[in-house]
Amino acid sequence: MTSSTSIPGLARFNTSADSDALAALHEVCASSAWGNRLLAQRPYATTEALFLASDAATAELTAGDLAEAMAGHPPIGRPKPGDPTSAREQSGMAGASEALKAEMLELNLAYQERFGHVFLICATGRTGGQMRDAVRERIGNSPEQEREIVRTELGKINRIRLARLVERLEHQEEGPA
């Protein structure tokens, strides 16, 4: 097992000021409950320990906490302007046809009307067609089923973003998280 001292990014995260670490965690997931739980469990011996803590914190999010987390995610096909993270994660929509983009807009709106929140999917590595098919399939779910699918997708997104955070900190010169 590799210790955090041999993973510079994780060591930097573990030793950064609480306010800096919390700000970095908020970029990963907009849920304050999730971020506070991960912050409270520092230091992490390994990246896997950080991932497991994230999974546990995600599993314990209330409906309100999930709503707060989802509020930090733009609709599929409409990444936040100037946000390279959402643009990178949704890159499968970048080359989609105008017809597919229009269909995704309609499906996003129908989904949001049905469930009261943005359609959340771990879009990394998915094509526009795969995301469209997923929203088509999931729009028929019950709110309870969908909440658990959203929780699972959020967990996947959080793991990817935490890995990128540790990697970014590894290559960062001395400074805050």
Cite the active site residues. 73
Burial 84-110 (b: 16+ CB within 10 A, else e): eebeebbbbbeebeeebbebbeebbee
C-alpha 107/C-alpha 124 separation (Å) is 19
Distances (CA, A) of 55 to 49, 58, 82, 103, 177: 10, 5, 28, 32, 21
